[in-house]
Amino acid sequence: MDFFIASAHANPAAAQGSPTAGWDLIFMLVIFGLIFYFMIYRPQAKRVKEHKALMSSISKGDEVLTQGGLLGRVAKVADDKDYVVIEVADNTQVMVQKSAISAVLPKGTLKSL
């Protein structure tokens, strides 16, 4: 039955590992860590920081766009709570979370639509 599988003979020189094998693995892990940091973590942290700055800069009278697609003017901002009242039409107000606001639009955007 030995003719189906070739006999494996141990090579004593190949049994010993290379002295740089451990450093190669560490170097590769460091490179992957740097790629992960610069391609994924850093841009996402930058976006989160910009969004927090946007949330803190919202004031009454700003024209905003929500993540759901609503356009409106901020009628009331509660500093102690995370909610904003947006007026989407005359006498029509909607309460949304500050985190649901995706952009502050330039003044006059609602009139041009």
Average pLDDT, the chain: 85
Same domain, yes or no, for 29 and 71?
no
Is 51 domain-assigned? yes
pLDDT for the residue 11:
55
Q: Residue 83 — very low, low, confident or very high, per pLDDT cuts 50/70/90? A: very high
Average of per-residue pLDDT across 17-36? 86
Same domain, yes or no, for 64 and 113?
yes
Stretch among 24-33, 69-78, 79-88 having the lowest mean pLDDT: 79-88
In the predicted structure, residue 88 carries a pLDDT above the cut 60? yes
Q: How far apart are CA 61 and CA 63, in angstroms?
A: 6
Is 87 domain-assigned? yes
Give me the number of domains the chain comprises: 2
Same domain, yes or no, for 78 and 50?
no
Q: How far apart are CA 110 and CA 2, in angstroms?
A: 84
pLDDT for the residue 43:
95
Measured CA distances, 86 to 24, 31, 34, 75, 98 (Å):
57, 47, 42, 5, 10
Between 111 and 74, where is the model more confident? 74
Same domain, yes or no, for 63 and 86?
yes
Q: Position 98: which residue type?
A: K
Helix H segments across the chain? 12-15, 21-36, 42-57, 109-112
Same domain, yes or no, for 52 and 99?
no
Residue 83 domain boundaries: 59-113
Q: Considering the entire predicted model, what is its pTM?
A: 0.64
Same domain, yes or no, for 22 and 32?
yes
Same domain, yes or no, for 82 and 106?
yes
